[in-house]
Amino acid sequence: MAGHISLQYGSKQVDKKTAREPLLVRILLITVALAFLFLFLLLPLAAIFIKAFEQGIGLYIASITDPDAVSAIKLTLLVVVLTVPLNALFGITAAWAITKFEFKGKSLLVTLIDLPFAISPVIAGLVFVLLFSTHGLFGDFLFQHDIKILFAVPGIVLATLFVTFPFVARELIPLMQAQGSAEEEASLTLGANGWKTFWLVTLPNIKWGLLYGVILCNARAVGEFGAVSVVSGHIRGLTNTMPLHIEILYNEYQFSAAFAVASLMSILAIVTLILKNIVEWKSGQHG
């Protein structure tokens, strides 16, 4: 069984001879694809790095070691460290509940999981403003107990959690559905309790799908702009994540500095992409 559903195109190899297109068509198709890739992906990526190093390596290093930049990087990493494990946990529980049990409101739960995909991140951010601002639903309570959520780290973490929570669950649900419960049932009849069954049977079976979901979730958590922008308050050195920091630098015409931080994020994205491919390859092997 393939580790990941959307990967199956890789294993379905059409017989090359019978499916061969005329030479001209092939050249044309490949050229179009490559040109598109170059124009819309490689060129902008190169532009980021060219712009970042435009005014010399000195400024590049200064830009990314600037205290505000460092604090933005730290905050982004903190957000990732908090949201990704939580969403991995949530994703596993949700996928488990949806695929192994029958209960009322199951289809509603599946729909709700997709909600963050369906609504704009800005609205997601505004929801938290409505809930936690001084005039919001929990405003009085939070004020009385001196708890800061909005325009502080908890708000950013919450907004990121909201935006990224479908990734792991979406990855695992089709995988676990395809695998069924037979192995778990076999484990139970052999005397293993639920906890042991999860660690010894379920988790090894879903690990590549889980990792894939975690990588996607991670990429989104790092890059989330809209929802975080609404709840962060843009306090420099305190509540600015990397994307927000880049925006501020850009608005202040510090292009090279903006692109220097952007290049860091690009490197992160490329690493994620490579990891993602390794995971795909591995899950294909073990499938």
User: Which tokens go with 150?
Assistant: 């909005």
185 forms part of the interface with another protein (CB under 8 A): yes
Tokens of 32: 């179009």
DSSP class of residue 233 equals -
Part of the chain binding another protein (CB under 8 A), chosen from 65-73, 133-141, 169-177, 196-204? 196-204
Cβ 97 vs Cβ 198: under 8 Å: no
In terms of CB distance, is 139 or 284 closer to another protein? 284
Of 55-63, 164-172, 179-187, 243-251: span binding another protein (CB under 8 A): 179-187
- Residue 189 near another protein by CB under 8 A: yes
- Min separation Cβ 197 and another protein, Å: 8
Reference 150, options 121, 171, 123, 128; nearest CA is 128
Task: Give yes or no for a contact between 241 and 188, defined as CB atoms under 8 angstroms apart.
Answer: no
Answer positive or negative: Cα dihedral of 17, 21, 22, 26: negative
When the beta carbons of 163 and 201 are compared against another protein, the nearer one is 201
Stretch that binds another protein, among 89-97, 108-116, 187-195, 233-241 (CB under 8 A): 187-195
> Which of 204, 235, 271, 273 forms a contact with another protein (CB under 8 A)?
204
Stretch that binds another protein, among 141-149, 159-167, 191-199, 266-274 (CB under 8 A): 191-199
- Give CA–CA dist 157/169, Å, rounded: 19
Instruction: In whole angstroms, give the CA distance from residue 113 to residue 9.
Output: 26
Please report, as ranges, the residues that interact with another protein according to CB under 8 A. Answer: 1, 182-183, 185-193, 196, 200-201, 204-205, 286
